[in-house]
Chain A
Amino acid sequence: MPFSPFVARAVSKTLGGQVVRNRASRLHFPDAGHGYDAFGLSPDYVALGDALAGVVYDKYFRVQSHGHEHIPKVGPAILAGNHSGTLPFDAAMMWVDVLRHTEPPRVARAVADYFVPSLPFVSTLFARCGVVGGSRGNARALMEAGELLIIFPEGTPGISKPFSKRYQLQDWRQGHCEMAIRYRAPVVPFAVIGAEEQMPQLATLPGFGPIPLIPIPATLLPMPVRYHICYGEPIPLDKEFTPEDADDPTIVKEAALRVKAAVQELLAYGLKQRKGIFK
Chain B
Amino acid sequence: MISVLVTGATTPIGERLVRSLVADTRVEHVLAVGLEPPESALPFSHGKRLTYLRVDLGRERRIRELLFGPVRDLGVQVVVHLAQYDRVHAQGRSVHAQNVEALRSILELSDRHPTIRRLVLKSYAEVYRVSLELPVLVTEDHPLNLSPSAPQYIRDRVEADLTACARMGLADCEIVVLRCAEALGPGTGSQLYDFLDSPIALRAAGFDPMINVATIADIVVALEKATHGSGEGVFNVPGYDTLPLSECIRKWGAYGVPLPGPMVLPLYELRHWARGSDFSYGINRRRMHYGLVLDGNRAHTVLGYTPSFPVDWPIGGPIHKEPR
In the docked arrangement, what's the CA distance between A121 and B138, Å?
A: 23
Q: Is A65 an interface residue (CB 8 A)?
A: no
Contact at A38–B242, with CB atoms within 8 Å? yes
Contact at B206–A120, with CB atoms within 8 Å? yes
Contact at B132–A118, with CB atoms within 8 Å? yes
A120 and B242 in contact, given A33-B310, A36-B210, A141-B137 (Cβ under 8 angstroms): no
- Name the CB-closest residue of A to B241: A33
Among A132-140, A182-190, A224-232, A245-253, the one that faces the other chain is: A132-140
**Contacting residues, chain A, for B241 (C-beta < 8 A):** 33-34
The tally of CB-CB contacts under 8 A between chains A and B is: 88
Contact at A133–B132, with CB atoms within 8 Å? yes
In the docked arrangement, what's the CA distance between A136 and B319, Å?
A: 32
Minimum CB–CB distance from B125 to chain A (whole Å) comes to 14
Q: Is B39 an interface residue (CB 8 A)?
A: no
Q: Within the complex, which residue of A120, A133, A141, A210 is in contact with B207, where a contact is CB–CB below 8 Å? A: A120
Total number of A residues with any Cβ neighbor in B under 8 Å: 29
Q: Is A241 an interface residue (CB 8 A)?
A: no
A36 and B293 in contact, given A114-B132, A124-B208, A137-B139 (Cβ under 8 angstroms): no
Among B133, B240, B290, the most chain A Cβ lie within 10 Å of the Cβ of B133
In the docked arrangement, what's the CA distance between A117 and B135, Å?
A: 11
In the docked arrangement, what's the CA distance between A115 and B290, Å?
A: 11
In the docked arrangement, what's the CA distance between A136 and B135, Å?
A: 7
**Contacting residues, chain B, for A55 (C-beta < 8 A):** none
Among B1-9, B58-66, B243-251, the one that faces the other chain is: B243-251
Restricting to B275-300, which residues have a CB under 8 Å from any CB of A?
289-291, 293, 295
Minimum CB–CB distance from B309 to chain A (whole Å) comes to 12
Q: Is B267 an interface residue (CB 8 A)?
A: no
**Contacting residues, chain A, for B132 (C-beta < 8 A):** 114-115, 117-118, 133, 210
In the docked arrangement, what's the CA distance between A185 and B139, Å?
A: 22
Contact at B242–A36, with CB atoms within 8 Å? yes
Q: Is B151 an interface residue (CB 8 A)?
A: no
**Contacting residues, chain B, for A122 (C-beta < 8 A):** 206
Restricting to B18-52, which residues have a CB under 8 Å from any CB of A?
none
Contact at A1–B240, with CB atoms within 8 Å? no
B 245-269 to A, binary, CB cutoff 8 A, 1 in contact else 0: 0110000000000000100000000
**Contacting residues, chain A, for B144 (C-beta < 8 A):** none
Restricting to A96-117, which residues have a CB under 8 Å from any CB of B?
114-115, 117
In the docked arrangement, what's the CA distance between A264 and B289, Å?
A: 38
Contact at A40–B291, with CB atoms within 8 Å? yes
In the docked arrangement, what's the CA distance between A119 and B247, Å?
A: 20
In the docked arrangement, what's the CA distance between A34 and B208, Å?
A: 14
**Contacting residues, chain B, for A115 (C-beta < 8 A):** 132
**Contacting residues, chain A, for B204 (C-beta < 8 A):** 120
Minimum CB–CB distance from A128 to chain B (whole Å) comes to 8
Contact at A117–B290, with CB atoms within 8 Å? yes
Restricting to A53-101, which residues have a CB under 8 Å from any CB of B?
none
Q: Is B205 an interface residue (CB 8 A)?
A: yes
Q: Is B134 an interface residue (CB 8 A)?
A: yes
**Contacting residues, chain A, for B209 (C-beta < 8 A):** 40
Contact at A33–B142, with CB atoms within 8 Å? no
**Contacting residues, chain B, for A34 (C-beta < 8 A):** 241-243, 247, 319
Q: Is B136 an interface residue (CB 8 A)?
A: yes
Q: Within the complex, which residue of B205, B244, B261, B289 is in contact with A40, where a contact is CB–CB below 8 Å? A: B244
In the docked arrangement, what's the CA distance between A29 and B241, Å?
A: 16
**Contacting residues, chain A, for B138 (C-beta < 8 A):** 137
Minimum CB–CB distance from B139 to chain A (whole Å) comes to 7
B 192-208 to A, binary, CB cutoff 8 A, 1 in contact else 0: 00000000000011111
20 A-B contact pairs sorted by A residue (CB < 8 Å): A1-B208, A33-B242, A34-B243, A36-B244, A38-B137, A38-B210, A38-B242, A39-B137, A40-B136, A40-B208, A40-B209, A40-B244, A114-B132, A117-B289, A118-B132, A120-B206, A121-B205, A123-B206, A133-B136, A135-B134
**16 further contact pairs, Cβ within 8 A, besides A123-B207, A133-B290, A137-B135:** A1-B244, A33-B319, A33-B320, A38-B212, A38-B242, A40-B210, A114-B133, A117-B289, A117-B290, A120-B205, A120-B207, A121-B205, A123-B206, A135-B135, A137-B139, A210-B132
Chain A residues engaging chain B, CB cutoff 8 angstroms: 1, 32-34, 36, 38-40, 114-115, 117-124, 127, 132-138, 140-141, 210
Top 9 A-B pairs, shortest CB-CB distance: A120-B206, A137-B135, A32-B242, A34-B243, A121-B206, A114-B133, A138-B135, A135-B135, A124-B208
